[in-house]
Chain A
Amino acid sequence: MPRPGFVLEVDERTPPLLVHSGESFRLQDFPLGSRVIYPPESLPGVPDVDEAIEQALLHPLDSEPLPSLLHAGMRLTIAFDDLSLPLPPMRKPDIRQRVIEHVLEHAARAGVDDVQIIAANALHRRMTPDELKAIVGERVFRSFFPDNLVNFDAEDRANLTHLGMTDENEDVEISKRAAESDLLVYVNVNLVAMDGGWKSTAIGLASYNSLRHHHNSHTMVHSRSFMDRHSSQLHSSAWRMGRVLNEHVKVFQIETTLNNDAFPSQYGFLTKREWEWSMRDQATFLGAKRGIDMMPAKARRKLFQSMEAPYLVTGISAGAVEPVHDATLERVHRQQLVDVDGQSDVLVLGLPYLCPYNVNSVMNPILAACLGLGYFFNMYVGQPLVRKGGAIILNHPVPWEFSTLHHPSYVDFFDEVLSVSTDPKVIEQKFEQQYATDPWYIHLYRTSYAYHGVHPFYMWYWCAHALDHVGDVIWVGGDRRAVARMGMRSASTFADALEMASDTVGRSPSITYLHSPPHVLARVNGSHP
């Protein structure tokens, strides 16, 4: 029986705690009395994944069974989450492959010829053929690539359809193929509570014209948090768009959830509670850390990026989008939710090597900020883990390093935009249009493997809620120039960071460390202790 998550109070028996820091990790002593939020242990997977998929397809929620929606001569589109999910990538076979194969089995039996499979990458970079194959599997890849297994192109005007406006005057513009299909099947992997629901189709298959309505600084500041759909303006907007979408196309949503087995067994210490580390875990930690620190940067990156998570599937739901997503959230909460009493003065986060946008790539400073201030800060329901005006201490080296292949507009954003202002609202007004419509960035997005020109803005907007909420952001071990460019401060050690934060939170602050990954979602009750 997996144990629930809980909040540890550091005492003299507590060993130093594992803290991720980019492509490395270290042990950190925390002051006595600090709170540490541990995720629940991994839930068991479903005993038979194929059987679970079949059951979901044949007994969907608020929908006819999938076979009855399929018939010869129809246009069937299958969309699926791109490589930004799950993190780390899942050990093969990927759950999307298994679900798509089941859907295609039914389609083949029904005699459906017109099938298009689209990676719902929105403004993310295109995936390479190998990356596509890794997700959908060899059979699907060989049957459909390249003509009918494609990346979504949000700048292909000829293949976009404007479906109308929401009741709040938001454009709904998505993939023409998806919008004009007789059935749109969406295959999702739900790693955190933010994923899934109408966010899958209304965002994953949308153009900039549609995305700009919710991917902006105002919406982000008022999404409290992204992980709480009912308190997230981002999700409210996506749900409004979804309703418009629903009037035009039949959507059959398939959502899958994973447990917390985020690291291979040889790195078991990364998911174990530290005081339960065996001698073997301690030796593995020492050996792994020493080995990683001694490796050349290139080899180290390769090692980390090649890591595949042995995730188990905890459940599969299919049918109408909203009831399916409710069932998904229930499972995600069961795996990740931890009750926490009150906020603290300081929130400590250890940022790992990977975020949704640097799979097989480099985590540049903007992505590091987005991971910490966008994703990790938002891992709450209720109220943030840190009080208004408190401090966030992030652990990451923040190297001044960019992939010019994947993140070309990030380079310019970092040099030209952040050097003028770090205020999300200011840079949105002043620079966003220019980057979003730049022909060179659009060309790279469409023909190379580059994120869209506007993508770094979105990453910065993800940070907007945290930047608006906290009084101080300090990076432990961060490159000073890179951190300063983002308008933040860098400290050499955790002790120095606390010393620096004392200007904001005093000399005896309450401290909370979110012990993640694996993912943990804090349901914060009460007030500042």
Chain B
Amino acid sequence: MSSSLVRDVKQVARGWRWTHRQLPPRSAEPHHVFPEAREFPTDWARSPVAVRAREAILRGGLTPLVRHETTLQVEGLDVLDDIDGPVIFVANHSSHLDTALLLTTLPPQWLRRVAVGAAADYFFDAWWRAVGSALVFATFPIERGGVGLSETPTRLLAQGWSLVMFPEGTRSPDGWTRRFRLGAAYLAARNNVPVVPVALSGSFAAMPRGRGWPKPGRPPVHVRYGRPVHGLPGEEPRAFGARIAGALGQLLDEDRTDWYAARRRAALEATPSPAGPEVARWRRVWESSAGPAPVRRRPRAWR
């Protein structure tokens, strides 16, 4: 009797995707009344207790893990010293490693007041994933289906929380940057907060789509924080978004070469496009898979 109960429960759990969001059969969609989308509540994940728990998890678990599994190089954190209020961190996105790289490299005072925008249909389609990502990564849901931004990010900025956003909307399939959506620019302009571009290099090579763990051999990953970009009076979000994308492109260029060379190219409006070369897909993937140049070891004085 108990075995048949277990069998029934398993059948129901599997059939109704207890671990995921239930979807109607395709042929039933025209006849389906979709319930009004309710945003998964994440306020609890920003409570003092949750913040302390997250800090403990990140500093005690994730940071050592990231540093153990990758060769991490962080640059530009000094730009945050001059900023007081909330900002929107905008980064390129090609790996699940990216959020971890950002959170584990932010100074503690910033880490305690940052929330990460995450795709509602991916990170919030199962309760366990939603709870886990909200607790560990301080995520809040963002609908990607053209529904429009909820009031949550605006409310968070007003409460002094900084946001992390990946304006590409999804992980790059080939390591190069995709077209930026305007949500981050719109939010920054509307709430009059600066945008801090963050260039992430090597995460695609270290842990591309389809991998759940970084490649062995401690692949190099670089996190480079750039100077904040402020919206101009009367500036349209589209124009502001283009400036943000430009700033991120220069940061990526800087990461590949050096600061001065990148500045020179920027002055000549010759910054290489972060969207990568227009060549066959395999060549784009091939180049991205190589990753950034490894960190050069300091010359040893004594051999």
Residues of A near any B CB (own CB < 8 A)? 3-4, 6-11, 13-16, 27, 29, 273-277, 282, 285-286, 289-290, 293-294
Contacts and interface: CB of A to CB of B under 8 A. Distances in A.
Contact of B12 (A8, A285, A294): A285
B23 interface: yes
A277 B12 CA distance: 10
Contacts of B26: 9, 11, 13
B83 to A, nearest CB: 45
Given A4-B31, A286-B9, A290-B5, A9 B25 contact: yes
Contacts of A289: 8
Given A3-B31, A4-B31, A11-B25, A277 B16 contact: yes
Contact of B28 (A273, A277, A286): A273
Contacts of A9: 25-27
- The 10 A-B pairs of least Cβ separation, nearest first, read A15-B15, A9-B27, A14-B25, A16-B15, A275-B24, A13-B25, A13-B23, A6-B31, A282-B12, A11-B25
A9 B25 CA distance: 8
A276 B32 CA distance: 9
Given A4-B31, A13-B26, A286 B12 contact: yes
Interface string B1-37: 1001100110110011000001111111011110000
B74 to A, nearest CB: 43
A494 B77 CA distance: 64
Contact of A13 (B11, B12, B24): B24
Nearest to B5: A290
A289 B9 CA distance: 11
A53 B192 CA distance: 67
5 contacts: A6-B30, A13-B25, A15-B15, A286-B12, A289-B8
Nearest to A27: B11
A15 B31 CA distance: 16
A273 B32 CA distance: 10
A8 B15 contact: no
**Interface majority SS on B: helix, strand, loop or mixed?**
helix
Contacts of B5: 286, 290
A16 B11 CA distance: 8
Contacts of A16: 11-12, 15
B24 A27 contact: no
B8 A286 contact: yes
Nearest to B8: A286
Contacts of B4: 293
A10 B28 contact: no
Contact of A290 (B8, B22, B23, B24): B8
Contacts of B9: 286
A294 B1 contact: yes
A11 B4 CA distance: 26
A279 to B, nearest CB: 8
Contacts of B28: 6, 8, 273, 275
B194 to A, nearest CB: 44
A274 B24 CA distance: 9
A4 B28 CA distance: 12
A27 B27 contact: no
Contacts of B25: 8-11, 13-14, 275
A29 B8 CA distance: 12
B218 to A, nearest CB: 39
Given A3-B33, A29-B11, A275-B16, 19 more contacts: A4-B31, A7-B27, A9-B25, A10-B25, A11-B25, A11-B27, A13-B23, A27-B11, A27-B12, A29-B15, A273-B28, A274-B15, A275-B25, A277-B16, A282-B12, A282-B16, A286-B8, A286-B12, A289-B8
B301 to A, nearest CB: 64
Contacts of B8: 27, 286, 289-290
Given A4-B31, A290-B5, A275 B22 contact: yes
Nearest to A290: B5
Contacts of B30: 6
A295 to B, nearest CB: 12
A285 B16 CA distance: 13
A290 B33 CA distance: 30
Contacts of B1: 293-294
A6 B27 CA distance: 9
A293 B26 CA distance: 33
A413 B191 CA distance: 84
A286 B33 CA distance: 25
A276 B23 CA distance: 9
A205 to B, nearest CB: 43
Contact of A27 (B15, B31, B32, B33): B15
Contacts of B27: 6-9, 11
A340 to B, nearest CB: 13
Residue among A10, A15, A29, A289 with most chain B CB within 10 A: A15
Nearest to A28: B11
A317 B108 CA distance: 77
Contacts of A293: 1, 4
Interface in B231-283: none
Contacts of A8: 25, 27-28
A294 B5 CA distance: 11
Contacts of B32: 275-276
A113 B27 CA distance: 60
Residue among B1, B26, B28, B33 with most chain A CB within 10 A: B28
A90 to B, nearest CB: 28
A515 to B, nearest CB: 12
B250 to A, nearest CB: 45
A276 B31 CA distance: 11
Residue among B1, B11, B27 with most chain A CB within 10 A: B27
A289 B5 CA distance: 9
A286 B22 CA distance: 18
A10 B33 CA distance: 18
B33 to A, nearest CB: 8
Contacts of A294: 1
Nearest to B28: A8
Interface in B137-161: none
B23 to A, nearest CB: 5
Contacts of A285: 12
Nearest to A275: B24
Contacts of A286: 5, 8-9, 12
Nearest to A17: B15
A15 B12 CA distance: 8
A274 B33 CA distance: 13
